[in-house]
Amino acid sequence: MTHYALTVKCPSTRGIVAAVSAFLAERGCNITDSSQFDDQETGNFFMRVSMRSETGATPDGLTEGFAAVAERFAMDYAFHDEAEKMKVIIMVSRFGHCLNDLLYRWRIGALPIEIVGVISNHLDYQKVVVNHDIPFHYIKVTKDNKPEAEARQMAIVEETGAELIVLARYMQVLSDEICRRMSGRIINIHHSFLPSFKGANPYKQAFQRGVKLIGATSHYVTADLDEGPIIEQDTVRVTHAQSPEDYVALGRDVESMVLARAIHAHIHRRVFLNGDKTVVFPASPGSYASERMG
C-alpha cells in the first residue's frame, strides 16, 4: 500500500475535518495520522493528514477529485507521495559540524532526502562531500562578485531541481532577490537562541552576560536578517564554571540537532507558514525510523 500526506490551509469554518475524512474514505484511503490547528487570532485553519491508499488511488487522481472540496472551503492544498525524497542543496562555509551531522543522518536514512549538491565559498569540505558521491560546487563570494556568484548558485538550484536550500553555517548573507525567489524554501541555523545575542559572536556575548542557557534557532530565511519564521529551537544548560570555548563546543551539538529537526519537519510537510510564525505539527509514527544504525 502507498502512503500519502495531505496538507491543507484555509479559512476556519465548521465541517472541514468531516469533509476531508469523508472524501478520503470514499477514495479508499485509510487515515493513519492527523493533526489540525485552528488559529483564532488569524482565522486560519491548518491540517496535515497521513493516509494509506488501499485501492490504488494516486496523488494526481486524489488532487483532481479533491478540487470540489477545496473550492468549497477555499483551501490551499496538496497531496504528497511520502516515498518521494525532497531534493536538497546544502550550503556551508568553514564550520562543518552541521554539514557532517546532516551527511551522517542522510547516509543512515534518518533524514530521507536527496542531497543533489553542496555549495561552499571555501574548499575545506570538498573531499568530505566528494567521498559521499555528492557534487561539490566551489563558488567564491566577494563584495565585487556577489551578484555573479549568486547567479551561479541559483543556476545549480534550477539545474538540480532542488526544492530546499539548507544553510548549514553558510556565513554569507543572501540577497533579497534570492530570499524572495526561494521564500519558504531556505532553512538557516542561527547559533543563538533568538532573539537574544545576535551577531558574529553570540557565545561570547552569552558568556559575558553570565547566561545559564544557550541554544540555537532554525528558521526560514527572509530579507530581514535572522528574522524569518522560526521552525525549531533548543537549549543546553551551562554554569559559571564553563569557558567561552565550552559554550562554542556545546553550541555545536545543539545547532546540529536543531537544524536536523527543522529539516525533518519541512521535508515531511509538517511546517506551515502562518504570517511571521509557523505551525509545526508533530511527527507521524515511524517517520524517525532509520534504514540502518551506522
Taking residues 15-22, what's their average pLDDT?
98
* C-alpha to C-alpha distance for 77 and 88, rounded to whole angstroms: 22
The model's pLDDT over 209-224, given as tens digits with 9 standing for 90+, comes to 888 888 899 999 998 8
Instruction: Characterize the bridge pairing of strands 213-220 and 186-190.
Output: antiparallel
What's the pLDDT at 136? 98
3-state secondary structure of 197: coil
pLDDT at 237 over 90: yes
Tell me, what DSSP letter sits at residue 176? H
Phi (first) and psi of residue 211, to 5 degrees: -70, 160
Residue type, 168: A
What's the pLDDT at 252? 94
**Locus of grid cell 565559498:** 121
The 3-state DSSP composition of the chain as helix, strand, coil percent (nearest 5) reads 35, 30, 35
* C-alpha to C-alpha distance for 51 and 55, rounded to whole angstroms: 12
The answer to whether residues 76 and 62 touch, using CB atoms and an 8 Å cutoff, is no
What's the pLDDT at 293? 64
The model's pLDDT over 248-264, given as tens digits with 9 standing for 90+, comes to 899 999 999 999 999 99
The model's pLDDT over 38-86, given as tens digits with 9 standing for 90+, comes to 999 999 999 999 999 999 999 999 999 999 999 999 999 999 999 999 9
What's the pLDDT at 209? 81
What's the pLDDT at 92? 98
Average per-residue pLDDT in the chain?
93
What's the pLDDT at 294? 57
**How many CA atoms does the CB half-sphere of 179 hold within 13 Å?**
17
Residues of the chain with pLDDT > 70, as a percent, come to: 96
Q: How confident is the model at residue 204 (pLDDT cuts 50, 70, 90)?
A: confident
What's the pLDDT at 197? 67
What's the pLDDT at 214? 86
What's the predicted TM-score (pTM) here? Answer: 0.93
List the catalytic residues.
226
Taking residues 195-220, what's their average pLDDT?
81
Count Cβ atoms below 10 Å from residue 153 Cβ, excluding itself.
22
Residues of the chain with pLDDT > 90, as a percent, come to: 83
